[in-house]
Structure 1
């Protein structure tokens, strides 16, 4: 099988890297949405002072209401709960109705079922993409962007007689063990000099 997100060889619908990434995002999502609520909801000016949520006719609010509609606890809860209900329907078809929607509980439940999801759930890639979209949206509000992969170079492993793999190799900040997502070749710190030496002259 190949990973639904990156196409690399995998033992299920997601490779190990994307399974771990999904697990981390599910664990962090509730806390991020609580933090986003603090960023988006105007604070009271003093004890007992109430901030109106619906303004009367007048100038348009300086707040981007599209962002509030997109990044809010209720929407995240609805999305994650729908995934829990679908996974539960296939995984445990005889257990009756899904428990009430709670973002913390649903994220925790999905994280606990990731082994089965990756191995048996055909929509695992779609689940990972939608959780990734929720994660990116809320991080854009709280000002904590997710680390981005750093491009290292091209894979220099031979995959056939005189044929070099040539796939792009990247790593996350702080990651020291590199693996080509196409041919699976591994590179440790001892291989960095060799990897750099055999890069094409016009490599960026």
Structure 2
């Protein structure tokens, strides 16, 4: 029975997430640790001068600290959320194992990324995981002000199907992504040979 993506309703070939949202989740898991580190820079606002004086009478109702950053970083919200997801995935996949000890945000994200294929294929809460990871990333980006990376168009898929016809669907990837699966025919580009084939077999533009 075909399962539809829990995020967009697209056909997902028996998985909980479609290929597009699987790729997005992988990218978000990779981005969270760096965003977490960058958030610490925003914990205390930058001074307007080299020796700015703050008098007791100048204090207003607004906190000098970014309370959103306090929640995400100092309050360990981001870290605790990701560690809890790692613990739950392990509980479902290996119920006979004891829960993993807390190891920090980067470790939790890396572990989940390594188990991503199993997660999207067998973990019923994969959609909830993807939503919460996206919410954490959005919250961090709203503070640091970094734009989301945009997919790069690589060309058209050059894989040949069983009928001898070239696929021709558009192939794109996020910056730094090393493995891309064509959403139309399912061919995966990951080796150096794959990328060279994609590059050299692109249709020539008409003069």
TM-score category, normalised to shorter length:
0.5 to 0.7
How far does residue 72 in structure 1 lie from its aligned partner after superposition? 2.2
| Partner Cα separation in structure 1 for residue 38 and residue 116 of structure 2 | 25
Q: Which has the larger displacement, 68-77 or 4-13? A: 68-77
Q: TM-score, normalised by structure 1?
A: 0.64
Q: Is 1:71–2:72 an aligned residue pair? A: yes
| Partner Cα separation in structure 2 for residue 173 and residue 62 of structure 1 | 41
How far does residue 95 in structure 1 lie from its aligned partner after superposition? 1.7
Q: Answer yes or no: is the 8 Å Cα contact 2:44–2:64 preserved in 1.
A: no
| Structure 2 CA distance for partners of 1:78 and 1:56, relative to 1, 3 Å | farther
**Which residue of 1 is the match for residue 143 of structure 2?**
141
- Of residues 30, 33, 38, the one that matches 2:33 is 30
How far does residue 61 in structure 1 lie from its aligned partner after superposition? 3.2
2:147 partner SS: coil
| Partner Cα separation in structure 1 for residue 88 and residue 57 of structure 2 | 41
Q: CA RMSD in A?
A: 3.6
**Which residue of 2 is the match for residue 86 of structure 1?**
88
Q: Is 1:122–2:101 an aligned residue pair? A: no
**Which residue of 1 is the match for residue 104 of structure 2?**
102
User: Can you list the C-alpha shifts for 1:66-96, whole angstroms capped at 9, x where unaligned?
Assistant: 4234432611001101111111101111121
1:94 partner SS: coil
Structure 2's unaligned 5+ residue stretches are: 48-55, 157-169, 172-182, 186-201
Q: Which has the larger displacement, 35-44 or 92-101? A: 35-44
Structure 1's unaligned 5+ residue stretches are: 45-54, 149-171, 191-204
2:62 partner SS: coil
| Partner Cα separation in structure 2 for residue 27 and residue 147 of structure 1 | 12
Q: TM-score, normalised by structure 2?
A: 0.64
How far does residue 139 in structure 1 lie from its aligned partner after superposition? 1.1
- Of residues 153, 160, 176, the one that matches 1:174 is 153
| Structure 2 CA distance for partners of 1:88 and 1:27, relative to 1, 3 Å | same
Q: Answer yes or no: is the 8 Å Cα contact 2:44–2:66 preserved in 1.
A: no
How far does residue 58 in structure 1 lie from its aligned partner after superposition? 4.4
Task: Flag the structure with more relative contact order, 1 or 2, with Cα contacts below 8 A and sequence separation at least 6.
Answer: 1
Q: Answer yes or no: is the 8 Å Cα contact 2:12–2:18 preserved in 1.
A: yes
